[in-house]
């Protein structure tokens, strides 16, 4: 985005880019969301393997190949498997590079459905703003449980130092993924020392299967978190799409009622 030098980034592997899989649903959410389709031109899909890159260029404008020598991320990376951990830390390393290049970014997992434009809901004073699995009603409270699958980060010396610190956590906490490490380092005195302003995003707006928003009048994004297994995610994300279409169809008509403003998910993921 020329006015803010901000880019929207997602990461993909071959399993998530198969036809009718996660990536197709991700793109569809922008197209059916409320004032979100124009944001697609700012989305860079970072492909972690050649299959994902080939599929990406067929269906999306901006694709970037981030292959890693000696590693194959094309298959489904099961939660907490060795490949899963390597993929998560490769992502943190790449995002640190984006910050060093001077770009602000919104990072979004591809299993996050974009239903409204999030930029009006971000805090003006937060360097690092992150969605939560569970939000405890205070945007600055460190006891909130963040989810690394959606965050808004401004490029400055504080965030560059923070991402470097975060990435080194993989060595201090071996066998932990980036989210577990974040939950440990968010209390570290180093965060206060560098002056990083960390804000946690309310699940009423930035929702997920862990703690679903109760009101579709408010929801901005919906994340298939707290859900293990690709097929389970796909099943429930399709229900999210259907819920949203039903909500939009009834939003301004006489049929609009409380049932059309709530989710039917999580179902299998629950």
Dist CA 153 CA 65 (whole Å): 22
Q: What is the pLDDT of residue 30?
A: 98
Digit-coded pLDDT (tens) for 74-89 = 444 444 445 666 777 7
pLDDT of the residue at 83: 61
pLDDT of residue 76: 45
Query: In whole angstroms, what is the distance from residue 195 CA to residue 218 CA?
Result: 31
* Helix, coil or strand: residue 132: strand
d(CA 130, CA 149): 8
Identify the H or E element spanning 207: strand 206-208
C-alpha to C-alpha distance for 13 and 23, rounded to whole angstroms: 10
**Architecture category of domain 6-111+122-202 in CATH:** Alpha-Beta Complex (3.90)
Provide DSSP, 14-72: HHHHSTTSHHHHHHHHHHHSBT-GGGGGGEEEEESSHHHHHHHHHH-S-EEE---TT--
User: What residues in the chain have per-residue pLDDT under 50?
Assistant: 72-81, 253-254
Pick from 263, 225, 259: nearest CA to 79: 225
Q: What are the residue boundaries of the structural domains of the chain, listed by start? A: 6-111+122-202
| Through-space distance between the first and last CA atoms of the chain, rounded to whole angstroms | 37
């Amino acid at each position: 985005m020329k006015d803010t030098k901000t880019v929207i980034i997602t990461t993909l592997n071959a399993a998530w880019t198969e036809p009718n899989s996660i990536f197709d649903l991700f793109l569809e959410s922008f197209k059916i969301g409320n004032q979100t389709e124009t944001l697609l031109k700012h989305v860079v899909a970072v492909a972690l393997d050649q299959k994902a890159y080939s599929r990406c260029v067929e269906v999306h404008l901006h694709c970037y190949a981030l292959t890693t020598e000696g590693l194959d991320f094309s298959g489904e990376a099961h939660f907490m498997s060795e490949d899963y951990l390597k993929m998560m830390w490769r992502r943190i390393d790449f995002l640190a590079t984006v910050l060093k290049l001077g770009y602000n970014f919104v990072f979004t997992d591809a299993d996050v459905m974009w239903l409204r434009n999030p930029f009006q809901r971000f805090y003006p004073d937060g360097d690092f703003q992150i969605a939560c699995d569970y939000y405890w009603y205070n945007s600055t409270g460190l006891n909130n449980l963040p989810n690394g699958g959606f965050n808004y980060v401004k490029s400055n010396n504080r965030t560059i130092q923070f991402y470097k610190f975060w990435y080194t956590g993989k060595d201090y906490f071996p066998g932990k993924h980036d989210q577990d490490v974040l939950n440990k380092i968010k209390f570290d005195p180093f965060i206060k020392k560098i002056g990083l302003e960390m804000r946690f995003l309310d699940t009423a707006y930035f929702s997920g299967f862990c703690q679903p928003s109760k009101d579709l009048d408010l929801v901005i994004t919906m994340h298939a978190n707290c859900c293990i297994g690709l097929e389970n995610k796909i099943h429930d994300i399709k229900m999210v799409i259907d819920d949203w279409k039903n909500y939009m169809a009834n939003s301004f008509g006489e049929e609009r009622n409380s049932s059309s403003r709530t989710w039917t998910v999580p179902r299998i993921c629950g």
